[in-house]
Amino acid sequence: MITNPARELYSNMDIDKLKPAKEETKGLLSKRNSMSMPNDASSQPAFRVAQHMLIYRQQREMLKNG
Amino acid sequence: MDEPLFDAPIPGQGLTHELGGRPWQSPPQYSTVDEAVDYYTSRLSTPEATSQIIDILKMGIPVTSLANTIQMSSIMDGKHSIDVGMLVLPLIVEVIMYIAEQEGIDYDDGLTDVKDNKTNAVILENIRTQMKEKAGEPTEEKPVVEEQVEEPTGLMARRA
């Protein structure tokens, strides 16, 4: 049976509660991670997709509200 | 009774092609989600793609079905892997809904429960508009052709 996962995947993306990604400071006195890989959510691909979705969602709401 | 399908692939036909010859058997063109996001946002925002999407949505096709078809065809073309397709799929749904709302058309998002057995409102609206268009047009009446009975003309035919 061919199933369409789009409905479940879209519903599971809870982007309304998404926190904006923290911008890293790049000053000389800023804290540096000893590990090369960052440990926050922004490194996850689903988080980055959600960030893009959030932009489109906000644009849609702007169109709806006029 | 179901008729037999003669145009179906024979068993094992999928294994007859050379390994690696199909697009999905070679490394994908876009290996990361970021590359796939850029690919879809640029591809779906073209005027040709936008007009096609609007036409499909006007036919009553749900957004989720359309998004799934788009990402599946990209997998078959070797654009990205299945994993990347699953991750990008919600974004495709969002982009399509954005395009539909930008154009101001009614569409079926496909996110509501299918089990409620209700007829799609978009399909009903399309049927209503088609019926209105038909009602406005004058109906074409075909001229009635009277059947002419051919009289027998042979030697043995009965004469009046």
pLDDT beneath 70, residues of chain A: 1-2, 20-24, 32-39
Q: Which residues in B lie closer than 8 A to residue A53 (C-beta atoms)? A: 90-91, 94
Residue A15 lies in a domain: no
Q: Is A31 inside a domain boundary?
A: no
In order of B6, B10, B101, B112, B135, the CA distances from B15 in angstroms are: 19, 11, 44, 39, 55
The number of folded domains in chain A is 1
Residues of A with CB under 8 A from a CB of B: 4-7, 9-11, 13, 45-46, 48-50, 52-53, 56-57, 59-60, 63-64
Nearest to B37 among A9, A49, A60 (CB): A49
Rounded to whole angstroms, the Cα distance separating B120 from B105 reads 15
Q: How confident is the model at residue B91 (pLDDT cuts 50, 70, 90)?
A: very high
Residue A35 lies in a domain: no
For A54, other C-beta atoms within 10 Å of its C-beta total 16
- Is A52 within the bounds of a domain? yes
- Taking 60 as the threshold, does the pLDDT of residue B16 lie above it? yes
- C-alpha–C-alpha distance, residues B63 and B54, integer Å: 10
**Residues B66-90: tens digit of each pLDDT:** 999 999 999 999 999 999 999 999 9
- Using the structure block, give the residue that is written with the tokens 């946002």: B41
User: What ipTM is given for this predicted complex?
Assistant: 0.78
Q: Does residue A12 belong to any structural domain of this protein?
A: no
Is residue A6, in this structure, part of any structural domain at all?
no
Could you report the per-residue pLDDT of B107-153, keeping only the tens digit for each? 998 888 655 555 667 777 778 888 888 888 654 555 666 677 777 77
Residues of B in contact with A11 (CB under 8 A): 111
How distant, in Å, are the alpha carbons of B24, B129, B133, B136, B142 from that of B139?
A: 52, 17, 11, 9, 9
Residue A22 falls inside a structural domain: no
Q: Which residue of A has its CA nearest to B68?
A: A6
Domain membership of residue A58 as a residue range = 42-66
Q: Which of B89, B101, B111, B114 to mutate to test the interface with A (most CBs of A within 10 A)?
A: B89
The partner residue sitting opposite A6, judged by closest CB among B37, B64, B102, is B64
Distances (CA, A) of B135 to A25, B81, B118, B128, B129: 67, 50, 26, 10, 10
Residue A65, domain member (yes or no): yes
